[in-house]
Amino acid sequence: MPFTFRCMPNCGLCCRLSPVTVLPHEVYLILDEAEELGVEVKFKVGYTIVDLNNKVTLALSYLMLLNEHNECPFLRNNKCMVHDKYKPLTCRAYPYLPRIIRYSLDRLSRTLTFEVKYAASTICPVVKEGLSNGLLIKLSTDPNLASQIFVNEYPAAMEMIEARRVYSDYLTYLWRIGEVDLVEDDGSYNYPVVNSFWFIRRYYPDLTIGKIINVSRAREGEPNGGH
């Protein structure tokens, strides 16, 4: 039986490491929680693409920034204030995190695709002490092994992949019917940045946050992530 990851109680190290990558719909969930808990949160735009038709820059991810104490704004006394509420997918997947996230735009087929490769973070003391170098290497290429070691974290990682796919699928469809014209953001376009969830809902108002969560969890539970 392989090593099974268990978070170290009252550690909080991961809550002080770096800003947290969140998806566009998660921004709204986090802002609601912050208002409820009286917490100030700030975001920085992450990966973006450009829509030439609507002259906007579409944010496909954001970074939730650390506060002035260099820790997650939801950390209190080494405990997560949103652990039993909506906890961002990146946090739920830690220490099983993306080592590569690569988006691709195919203008010939009008398709937005992405590639994500995961690995175990050795910054986590439990991983550093509990997993050998050989196992760490194998983890980066063996999803079955990852699912056995990161019993709770692996599903969150897969859910995040499927949530990303919701965005890529909708934007691909909008591209193919001529509503958008997508290009890489090379920094030469001075267009306003808009949240991709908000943008897609202009065309599909029935796309709710709950629907993204439900679809992502349903796909994650299917063989091969629903594909």
Residue 107 to residue 91: CA distance in whole angstroms: 34
Q: Alpha-carbon distance 52 to 70, whole Å?
A: 37
Domains in the chain: boundaries: 13-226
User: pTM for the complete prediction?
Assistant: 0.92
The dihedrals phi and psi of 105, each to the nearest 5 degrees, come to -115, 120
Per-residue model confidence as pLDDT tens digits over 69-110: 999 999 998 899 999 999 999 999 999 999 999 999 999 999
DSSP per-residue string spanning 38-49? T----EEE-SEE
The pair of structure tokens assigned to 90 is 């990146």
Q: Confidence class of residue 221 from pLDDT cuts 50, 70 and 90?
A: low
Q: Which two tokens stand for residue 123?
A: 């910054």
Tens digits of per-residue pLDDT, 1-13?
468 999 988 888 9
